[in-house]
Structure formats: C-alpha cells, structure tokens
Structure 1
C-alpha cells in the first residue's frame, strides 16, 4: 500500500495483525539561534529553518477516525505546528502496548526530531499530506 496521506496511514495501521498505538510528534518550523543572514532570508521566504517538537500525543487506532479529527484536536490546543511525525507501535498478543512502552517510544521520537533523525517516521503537513523531507 502506498501512503499518500494520513488517512492512508490509518488504513494501514488498522490492517495490522496486532493492535497499534499511534505516536504523533508535532513540530513547528523555527529559525536556529545561530543562523546566518542567508538562512534568515530563506526562513522568512518560507523555506528552510529547523523543526522543533512542540507537542506529542498517542492514540489507539480506533480513537482516531480520520485526519480531520486529528487536525481539530490539535487546533484546540492553540499550539501551531507545521509537521506531524508519526509512527505506529504494535501491541503483543492482541494487547495494546503498555503506557511505559508508549512513553518511552514518544520520548525517543521527540529526541530523534530534535536531532533531525526523522528518516524512520512518516511526516505529514497540516493538510494531512505526506511530506518528503530531505
């Protein structure tokens, strides 16, 4: 299955043999503290910058019917974001992952986003479309 948007990701997660816990780390573009004038100019033009985690959440697949629901929930926080990094944490023997496992996985995701080690995650824009980040 080719994933082109967040709803495709939800379908793929629902199709797994084991129950999935969805892990989401939302990040906002920011200008690095020690930026160059060129970086500042590109950032102001809507390009470049760094991605900083601003919030995270985990959801069981059945708690999230579609991207529109996720977008509404995120807007209610008042925290703007530009990219949602997502992963699915599988359960074992029909049981969802434990709370400590979920917390540990979210912390690892947040750390990875801070370091720019995002290749293991799917990334979606604020419209729920897949992003190809380089």
Structure 2
C-alpha cells in the first residue's frame, strides 16, 4: 500500500491481519557546534542540520484516531524551545491476535531513537507537522 499521508498509515495498520503497535519518534533539527560556515548558511535557509530525537510514544491504531490527535498529545509534552519538525513512524506486529504492549515497545523505540541519532532512518516513515510523508536525502 502506498502511504501518502499519516491517515494512510493508520488505515494500513488497522487492516493488518495481526494487531499492530505504532512507534513514533518526534525530532527537531539543530546545527552541530562544529558546523562549517557553508553548513550554517544552508541551515539558516532551512536546509541541513542534524536530526535530534525529542520524545517518543507508542500507540495502537485504535488509540489514535488521527494525526491531529497525535499532534495535540505531542504539544502537551513538548518542552519550550524544543519544538519538533518531523515525526518518524514504524510499526510492530502482534502475534496470535494480541497486539504488542507498551512494555514490548520500549526496546524497539529505543533502537529507533538510536538509529535516528546515527542517521539510519530508511526503515521509518517521516511525516511533517501536517501529516505528509517527507522525502529525505
């Protein structure tokens, strides 16, 4: 299935034969301290920078009615001055008609955070603040 919006992701997760748990990592973008003048100039134009995980959460598709609901919840936990610019999404599949629990999601969420810090993001779907998929690279 082609994911052209966050709602497509929710729909696809709800259609899977086994229950799903969705994993989300909200990221900001910052300029590293050792950035070159050229990198600083690009960053000031809205390009480049390093992805910085700010917060993460897991939800079943049934707990999340829409992207707007996720954004509203994220606003409650966003620290001042640390606004997110993208959210990366992944899914965990359950077994025997049992969805993974939040406890089951802890280690995969941490691996997701670590992967984003390393720039290994190809296994995740990034969405902008409007719920549109983002192409990186």
Could you tell me how far 1:86 is from its partner in structure 2? 0.4
- In structure 2, the partner of 1:32 is 32
Q: Distance in 1 between matches of 2:52 and 2:78?
A: 16
* Distance in structure 1 (CA, Å) of the matches to 2:113 and 2:44: 25
Unaligned runs of 5+ in 2: none
**Alignment match, 1:131:** 134
Q: Deviations over 1:58-116 (max 9, x none)?
A: 00110001101111111122341011000010111011114443101001000000000
**Who is 2:88 aligned against?**
85
Shifted more, 118-127 versus 79-88: the winner is 79-88
TM-score by length of 2: 0.94
Number of equivalences: 134
Root mean square deviation of aligned Cα? 1.0
Map 1:11-26 onto structure 2 (within 5 A): 11-26=11-26
Where do 5+ consecutive residues of structure 1 fail to align?
Answer: none
TM-score (norm 1): 0.96
- Greater shift, 70-79 or 2-11, is seen at 70-79
Deviant stretches of 4+, over 4 Å: none
Render the CA deviation track for 1:42-64: whole Å, top value 9, x for unaligned: 11111110101000000011000
> How far apart, in 2, do the equivalents of 1:77 and 1:98 lie?
21
* Residue 75 of structure 2: aligned partner: 75
